Chain A
């Protein structure tokens, strides 16, 4: 379309030398290239302008575009505490995924019961009939299970439940918040009244109620129960974001080109609200871990036999005076992973420069 005929004020070399701030080197009047418009007649008094001499040409330097991922990587490199949190989180996840290879013993294998940490027992671990001397770095519990192995396998369930829970809350909460914030009016009123209603209930009580309603324990029910209990946090957050993003001029621009509401929500608004959502999700995971532990502690956990951190904690409580490690060791695991997620979340918040008020932290 625009073949850029040689023009007194614009030639390719001339343009290349300008840096990022150049205005595209623009031929100030593009339409002048059309045959109907004469070329500008002015001639500079000193003849043709000089191209920028080669030795003065500069590389065009463009401001770097930082994608979300590159911002995270860069930010973590600078924020050592957050990086530490991230490493611990990744470590726990890896341990959970590879639990069968990492755990010293099968979580169902029994040894001498209530052995203190750093003790040994005699057992046939590899099933070859011979009795070996086995080490229990964190001791054994009241059933004779190895506490370390139980904690490692418990990480699987606890982390998986937490992630699934946050995913449920994230999805539903985002949908609610997006619709409420974008449409406003009665949709907003109805959805947000529901969120307020839910907000007024303590999570754990709501969780208990939902599990009771859903017909008892089980992984799905726990995930749904805790997930639903956290919807309000995401819904409020995203609604606030949407309310401000809705007023952005690029959203008006999208409406001006006739974009549908759905596309505006998913393509224009949501991508710009992702950063606070990621922060919120990171900060919600430890809460979900704690909630799951709480439900297990109350006997409403995944199942009475599947090891989860909450269940381990709960099982040990009656022996706390005689065998403190049964409860304390999973407690420490919970504490470490919660702290790790929190430092990571705080770090991400700083990286994205999301203000505290935007992400509700409780």
Chain B
């Protein structure tokens, strides 16, 4: 059984079909990139996978449970327990320090543990910046705090929306390296991006256009190097 399966997903806003009959499977431990131009439905898809929105039609099976039928309260619980979110805009709480931002995810999940939060910051190389406020951190550092917050509760899926969209090359490399590390530890990664360099390092990339899955590429020589050797038209 796949960890995540989207079956005939539609998301309709009036006359606009933001997602139009999308089918997708994500296996446990897989690193998937979702690419597409602006307005192709990437963020809508991320919202649905991330339990922040429901499809207009179709099934979204996460660990075999159709989350499209769950109540808002249950969706919050599923999101809290199974999904780690990383955003393009970082979305750190401005009046909390880096470590407190990480502990915030622990607080809503179970019990805050300062030592564990510090270890998470250490994994992203920010242990020495733990007591800094977001305003005292660079963009790359803020995104790494965001990664630490996403992984603190050992989620089944880490869902990243344009995680390098606001970063320079150096910080982009640091974040992608972190993803590699998480993937090698068995974490399932779904990265929504429009940056080919970020997308191509994933095991598999799906392309969205006008709300439909347009094509899919599989990186058979998945090593972190950019190499597309198999392309399948959908």
Query: Is chain B found bound to chain A in the same assembly?
Result: no
Which B residues lie at the A interface, using CB under 8 A?
Answer: none
Which A residues lie at the B interface, using CB under 8 A?
Answer: none
